[in-house]
């Protein structure tokens, strides 16, 4: 059953990180068509959420190998490296650790180790992550965000339910809050249990948590009970689905 449109997980606008520091690159000789000596292609580092990494990696690999990325002399225009990290870690690093991300000073706080290289492009799984960074970023941050004006793509957050216990009527599938959907599910099958991805790691899990808590987080305790589970939650929605019987 789908959640209301307000609960959409927006695959947010591409955010370019304008690095205010400087860096150097080694020089290499690359050979293109007809033995043309190619300059090193521009290498873009793309950071995204764990749920989006497989899709974006495939898209990046396809672009890099495509004619659109090949100049007239046969040289490659750009290379793209895609990696992912948990949303809470990325938001924290962009908000208050951008300096340490470029030059770690100790082992306690080291975004290079915990997240990876500071990206040139950030594609978060939700526009909420963008707002969290923009609202909480330090005034002395050494990396700034330049948000794109439009979302790259979007999809609703969904509650995946086995067909045999799914609601049949359209009114049971749309137009309801997540809590109402869960109540309807357990009403049809008292043994049904609902799981969510780790909200610290997955933007989808965080948006589901917002839906469970309701306005002003007044229903936080009940929301957590609805998705309580033994052991740690799965880091991504894909991994969660793979653990289900």
**Coil, helix or strand for 18?**
strand
Is 127 within 8 Å of 12 (Cβ atoms)? yes
pLDDT for 151: 81
State the burial class of residue 177 (Cβ atoms within 10 Å of its Cβ: 0-12, 13-18, 19+): middle
Q: Which of 104, 107, 132 is nearest to 118 (CA)?
A: 104
Q: What's the pLDDT score for residue 136?
A: 81
Strand partners, 145: 17
Strands (DSSP E) along the chain, which ranges? Answer: 8-11, 15-19, 30-31, 37-38, 42-48, 78-84, 121-123, 143-147, 153-156
Neighbours of 226 (CB within 10 A): 17
The verdict on pTM exceeding 0.85 is no
pLDDT at 20: 42
pLDDT at position 64: 95
Q: Within the chain, which residues score under 70 in pLDDT? A: 1-36
Q: How far apart are CA 231 and CA 245, in angstroms?
A: 16
- Rounded distance between C-alpha atoms, residue 11 and residue 230, angstroms: 30
Specify whether the CB–CB gap between 19 and 147 falls below 8 A.
no
């Amino acid at each position: 059953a789908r959640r209301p449109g307000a609960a959409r997980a927006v695959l947010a606008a591409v955010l370019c990180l304008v690095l205010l520091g400087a860096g150097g690159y080694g020089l290499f000789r690359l050979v293109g068509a007809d033995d043309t000596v190619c300059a090193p292609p521009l290498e873009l580092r793309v950071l995204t959420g764990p749920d989006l990494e497989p899709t974006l990696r495939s898209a990046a690999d396809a672009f890099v190998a495509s004619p659109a990325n090949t100049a007239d002399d046969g040289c490659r225009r750009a290379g793209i490296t895609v990696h992912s990290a948990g949303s809470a870690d990325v938001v924290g690093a962009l908000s208050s650790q951008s300096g340490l991300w470029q030059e770690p000073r100790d082992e306690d706080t080291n975004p290079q180790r915990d997240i990876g290289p500071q990206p040139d492009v950030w594609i978060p799984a939700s526009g909420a992550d963008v707002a969290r960074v923009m609202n909480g970023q330090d005034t002395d941050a050494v990396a700034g965000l330049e948000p794109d004006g439009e979302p790259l793509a979007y999809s609703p957050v969904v509650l995946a339910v086995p067909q045999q216990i799914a609601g049949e009527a359209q009114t049971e599938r749309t137009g309801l809050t997540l809590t109402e959907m869960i109540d309807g599910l357990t009403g049809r099958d008292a043994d049904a249990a609902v799981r969510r991805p780790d909200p610290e790691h997955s933007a989808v899990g965080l948006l589901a948590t917002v839906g469970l808590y309701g306005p002003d987080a007044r229903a936080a305790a009940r929301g957590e009970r609805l998705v309580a589970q033994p052991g740690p939650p799965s880091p991504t929605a894909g991994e969660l689905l793979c653990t289900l019987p």
